[in-house]
A and B are shown apart, each in its own frame.
Chain A
Amino acid sequence: MKMNRRETLKSLLLAPLAAGAATAGCATGAPVNWTELPREYSYGRTEAERQRDRELFAESYFSEHELVTIAVLCDIILPSDHPNGGALDAGLPDFVEFIVKDRETLKLPVRGGIAWLDSYAVAEFGADFVNIDEPQRLSICDRIAWPDVEDPVLQPGIRFFSLMRDLTLTGYYTTGQGFRDLGYQGNVANVWDGVPAEVLARHGLQYEPEWLAKCVDQSRRNIIATWDDDMNLTS
């Protein structure tokens, strides 16, 4: 059975991929597809940094089975049935693979976490996590998704699930889909002129007149500053 699954995976991974999409699969379910992330980046790097990133992209750390498990977990944590897309639309498996290679302290917790999950799934349902059916998978997640659960047997799984939730959310909210989901509007040139009046009002707050009088008059921001001898701005 194990051989079969790996064979299947291999053939799926070797099959021609649609542009910009990555695919892997598990034996009992449909192939798992996700948006493939770029492997080339240019954002003000030094040569040492470029070299480091090249090495990371060239490094192979996860097995195909581990990668599929990551994909399945990410999809459970942030599913794609949402207008702003989910984890797989945001390329989470690629991100998780990269960040785990990049941050040494993540390697063991993720690898060990997957092994714990498989061991638990085999004991409960007779197969690895990705090879049990969806209701079985969700029943395991229901047991390890809540950190207040005190069952000592489940603690490694709870730690792992929390880590995967952190990685999934951070990987999602640092993409365009995540920005849309959050409504983030910054990172653009603009002229800040204070909290919108209706927002201040909703919070029962108002700018103190004396404070406001000292603040920048944005209509004069492009007039070159001059001062009198008493340190008063005169422009």
Chain B
Amino acid sequence: MSTDDTTYDAIVVGSGAGGGMATWRLAQAGLRVALVEAGPWYDPAHDSQRTQFRYPWESPRRGASTRLRPFGDFNACIGGWELDGEPFTTAEGTDFMWWRARMLGGRTNHWGRISLRFGPLDFKRRDIDGLGDNWPIGYEDVKPYYDKVDKLVGVFGTNEGLPNDPDGFFLPPPKPRLHEMYYIRGARSAGVPVFPARKSILTKRINDERGVCVYCRQCDRACSLHADFSSSTVLIYPAVASGRVDVYTNTMVRKVDTSPDGSATGVSCIDRGNRRELRINGRSVVLAASACSTARILLNSISARHGSGLGNSSGHVGRYLHDSTGASRAAFLPELMDRDVYNEDGVGGMHVYTPWWLEGANLNFARGYHLEIGGGMGMPSYGFGFAANQYKEFLGERVGGYGNGLRDDVRRFYGSRLSIACRGESVPQYGNYCELDPDVVDEWGIPVLRFDYRWTEQEINQARHMQDTMEELLEASGGILLGDKPGPERQYGLTQPGEIIHEVGTTRMGDDPATSVTNRYGQLHDAGNVFVADAGTFVSQADKNPTWTILALAWRTSDYIVEQMQQRNL
């Protein structure tokens, strides 16, 4: 065991959205910070790590997915659904999926950059439907931080004055693509609203350090111009440049160490490179390892004072784990056959979206969902050309064949697909949780998580509604539906728990220490100098992607830490 001589003001565990923000804000406030990341240093601008602007033939598998890059060979995320030497287990009847990143910046390197503020209703859902619990804070508490995140990080979008999809300090959005114009027309005819998307991509310069979007559609490969939000490029590099941050890469945190009085003194880690134990000392610890990994660290931090794990006197660590719901459908748009070919890469992902539009409607499920629109003339990679002329079926022509005629088919149908993906809110359940598996350790000897998670009727009914909506909108857009509509035997195409990678809620905040893990600032009820700055503190997650709220809350928690230190409470 080696011990670094330094005693840091704060040790931040995890370098994703929450950890990056905490590191940036605490360093900005003058604190000495240790940032601990289980994976390597990463910068998409370095040619040795860059996957952006690669052509498919630069990969021998043409961008096909692998176990090491499940979202494709050019995807930026180092990690995936399975990690060598780091298993997790599931209870009988649970199909939980868990994506873990092992790199500086974590999962912010490849996410969709969809940046949606939670609205006022999203913090008080119990008041509306009687299910789950309210957050102890409301939109008015978080709004100042959303405002600051908008300006610091940059997000395009539009102020529409919607009641539960708040306005922001937006950069202007890009113009819609052709298939999105068909969607807009279809949605309008169906009476469903559609607006410019909201994404943390710089359509306009926000400072002299970062670049401006050059419309390559490859945000999932991480931007070498730093023109989209990744925790590393936007938060961690500037924090490191302050000289007040030491980054411990390839360092995996085993547990938080505590003194006999119960407060944290630092973290015990393992250096993954040489398998040596390492101890880092700190006056405070900020856990931002992702909701489930943070819960795992807390549960593994057992001491005489914290017999069931740190912060777990309530037994709530790992409880109320919940992920977004998801379902998707696609259609063939005959009007987009034989289209003019031009560069329409645009930004990564959609330029337009539909936020939840049925708030207050009488439905057989409680919470809403939004629609993400896909399609267009993307860059071919592995899989392009599969079932190349299957749409001929809809034209009464024969599918199959061989020879140069296939070229005409490929060109004819290129970019003629329109797809919709739904992302919805699930209802948090005490009975959906992760816990330590007493029988299994990972290769570092750290007990692993076991997941127990099932969807309820709420989510299944919501997925059914999603399917009906997608059919209606795709047809209204002029589409011929592809594939079968999934029915009850497949839970209406509902994604598996964890699959949307929006897992939140394992260390939820609350005013009552008996039913929550942290207070409204992310501070553990059981240890005043330990904080959670990832999505573990979410009481409920809304039908919004969680990143913008993680950033806002991590900034808020960091301000609270600075304030408490100034008041000598820490």
Interface set of A (CB-CB < 8 Å, partner B): 37-39, 41, 43-44, 46, 48-49, 52-53, 56-57, 76-79, 81-82, 84, 95, 98-99, 102-103, 141, 145-148, 161-162, 165-166, 168-176, 178-179, 181-196, 199-200, 202-203, 205, 207-208, 211-212, 214-217, 220-225, 227, 231-233, 235
A231 and B406 contact, Cβ closer than 8 Å, known pairs A44-B48, A184-B379, A223-B204? no
Complex contacts, A232 vs chain B, CB 8 Å: 159
User: With an 8 A cutoff between CB atoms, is B476 at the interface?
Assistant: no
Docked pose: A173 CA to B384 CA in angstroms = 7
1/0 per residue, CB under 8 A from A, across B42-75: the answer is 0000011111011111111111101011000110
Residues from chain A with Cβ under 8 Å of B196 in the complex = 211, 214-215
Assuming the contacts A79-B403, A186-B379, A192-B346, asked whether A166 and B205 have C-beta atoms less than 8 A apart, the reply is no
* CB-based contact A186/B344 at 8 Å: yes
- A178-B178 in contact (CB<8A): no
Identify which of residues 167-212 in chain B touch chain A, using a CB-to-CB cut-off of 8 Å.
Answer: 167-178, 181-182, 184-185, 196, 203-208, 212
For residue B488, CB closer than 8 A to chain A, the reply is no
Q: Is the CB of A98 within 8 A of B60?
A: yes
Interface residues of B, dominant DSSP: loop
The 8 closest A-B pairs by CB, nearest first: A169-B385, A194-B175, A189-B214, A174-B56, A216-B172, A174-B62, A186-B345, A183-B341
CA distance A185 to B218 in the complex (A): 15
With a cutoff of 8 Å between Cβ atoms, the chain A residues found around residue B403 in the complex are 76-79
Q: Are A102 and B342 interface neighbours, CB within 8 A?
A: no
Cross-interface CB contact of A188 among B154, B168, B216, cutoff 8 Å? B216
Instruction: Tell me whether A182 and B55 are in contact (CB under 8 A).
Output: no
Chain B contacts to A: CB under 8 angstroms: 40, 47-51, 53-64, 66, 68-69, 73-74, 78, 84, 151, 154, 156, 158-159, 167-178, 181-182, 184-185, 196, 203-208, 212, 214-218, 335, 339-347, 377-388, 398-404, 406-407, 410-411, 414
Complex-state Cα separation, A208 to B215, whole angstroms: 22
Taking a contact as CB atoms closer than 8 A, the residue among A56, A77, A78, A175 that contacts B57 in the complex is: A175
Flag if B170 contacts A231 (CB, 8 Å).
Answer: yes
Residue in A162, A185, A193 whose CB lies within 8 Å of B175: A193
Asked if residues A221 and B402 are in contact (CB atoms below 8 Å), the reply is no
Contact check, A146 vs B48: say whether CB atoms are below 8 A apart. no
Q: Which residues of A contact B84 (CB under 8 A)?
A: 48
Residue of B nearest to A146 (CB): B400
Query: Which of chain B's residues has its CB closest to A164's CB?
Result: B402
Q: CB-CB < 8 A to B167: which residues of A?
A: 231
Q: Please determine whether B172 and A147 come into contact, CB atoms closer than 8 angstroms.
A: no
Contacts of A76 in B (CB 8 A): 402-403
Name the residue of chain B whose CB is nearest to the CB of A78: B406
Given contacts A169-B386, A174-B382, A187-B379, contact A98 B61 (CB under 8 A): yes
Tell me which of B74, B178, B340 contacts A43 (CB under 8 A).
B74
Closest Cβ–Cβ distance, residue B547 to chain A (whole Å): 20
State the Cβ distance, B125 to closest chain A Cβ, in Å.
26
CB distance B64 to A207 under 8 Å? no
Verify A77–B343 contact, CB threshold 8 A: no
A199 close to B178 (CB less than 8 A) = yes
Cβ-defined partner of A41 (8 Å) among B58, B172, B177:
B58
> A225: which B residues are within 8 A, CB to CB?
154, 171, 204-206
Closest partner residue, chain A, to B339 (CB atom): A199
Kindly state the separation between the CA atoms of A145 and B402 in the bound complex, as whole angstroms: 7
Taken together as a complex, chains A and B put the C-alpha atoms of A147 and B342 apart, in Å, by 33
Closest to B177 in A: A195
A195 touches B212 (CB 8 A): no
Query: Known interface pairs A188-B216, A195-B181. Does A44 touch B50 (Cβ–Cβ under 8 Å)?
Result: yes
Query: Do residues B204 and A170 form an inter-chain contact, with CB atoms below 8 A?
Result: no
Other A-B pairs beyond A170-B62, A216-B171, 13, CB < 8 Å:
A43-B51, A44-B74, A98-B61, A148-B399, A165-B402, A169-B385, A170-B382, A170-B384, A184-B379, A190-B343, A194-B176, A212-B175, A233-B170
Min CB distance, B85 to chain A, in Å? 11
Task: Let me know if A222 and B340 touch, CB within 8 A.
Answer: no
A224: B residues at CB distance < 8 A: 204-208
CB of B38, distance to nearest CB on chain A (Å): 14
- In the complex, 23 of the A-B residue pairs with CB atoms within 8 angstroms, ordered by the A residue number, are A41-B59, A43-B58, A44-B50, A44-B51, A46-B68, A81-B404, A95-B62, A99-B62, A103-B64, A171-B62, A172-B385, A181-B410, A182-B380, A186-B377, A186-B379, A189-B215, A189-B216, A196-B340, A199-B342, A211-B184, A215-B172, A216-B156, A216-B171
Asked if A169 and B212 sit within 8 Å, CB to CB, the answer is no
Complex Cα gap A41–B340 (Å): 33
User: Closest CB of chain A to B213's CB: distance in Å?
Assistant: 8
When distances are taken between beta carbons in the complex, the residues of chain A under 8 Å from B178 are: 195, 199-200, 203, 205
Residues of A within 8 A of B216 (CB): 186-190
Contact A231 B51 (CB under 8 A): no
Task: Say how far B367's CB is from chain A's closest CB, in angstroms.
Answer: 27
> In the complex, which residues of chain B have a beta carbon less than 8 angstroms from the beta carbon of A220?
204
Which of B68, B377, B400 is in CB contact (< 8 Å) with A184?
Answer: B377
CB contacts (< 8 Å) of B66 on chain A: these are 49, 52, 102
Distance of B543 from chain A, by nearest CB (Å): 22
Given contacts A145-B400, A174-B57, A174-B380, contact A192 B63 (CB under 8 A): no
Complex: chain A residue closest to B215, CB-CB: A192
Is the Cβ of A82 less than 8 Å from the Cβ of B181? no
Beyond A44-B51, A194-B175, A215-B174, whether A169 also contacts B68 by CB under 8 A is no
A9→B61 CA distance, assembly (Å)? 27
What residues of chain A lie closer than 8 Å to B217, measured between beta carbons?
186
Bound form: Cα–Cα A223–B478 in Å? 39
A102: chain B residues at CB < 8 Å are 60-61, 64, 66
Do A231 and B159 touch across chains, with their CB atoms under 8 A apart? yes
Contact yes or no, B341 A182, CB < 8 A: yes
Bound-complex Cα distance A172 to B176 (A)? 30
Q: How far is the CA of A57 from the CA of B411 in the complex (A)?
A: 32
Chain B: which residue is nearest A138 at the CB level? B402
Please, which residues of chain A bring their CB within 8 A of the CB of B64? 99, 102-103
Most buried by A among B175, B335, B339, B402: B402
A169-B385, A183-B411, A192-B175 in contact; A202/B212 too (CB < 8 A)?
no
Name the residue on A nearest B383 (C-beta): A170
Docked Cα-Cα span, A57 to B60, in Å, equals: 10
C-alpha spacing A147/B399, complex, angstroms: 7
A166 touches B385 (CB 8 A): yes
A193 to chain B, nearest CB (A): 7
Contacts of A38 in B (CB 8 A): 60
- Are A196 and B206 in contact (CB-based, < 8 A)? no
State which of A99, A162, A235 has its C-beta within 8 Å of the C-beta of B382. Answer: A99
Give complex CA distance A82, B48 in Å: 37
Decide: A173 near B60, CB < 8 A? Known: A195-B178, A225-B171: no
Q: Are A192 and B341 in contact (CB under 8 A)?
A: no
**Contact in complex: A231, B346 (CB < 8 Å):** no
Partner pick for B204 among A186, A194, A211, A221, CB 8 A cutoff:
A221
Residues of B within 8 A of A84 (CB): 407
Separation of A223 and B174 alpha carbons in the complex (Å): 16
Closest chain A residue to B160 by CB distance?
Answer: A214
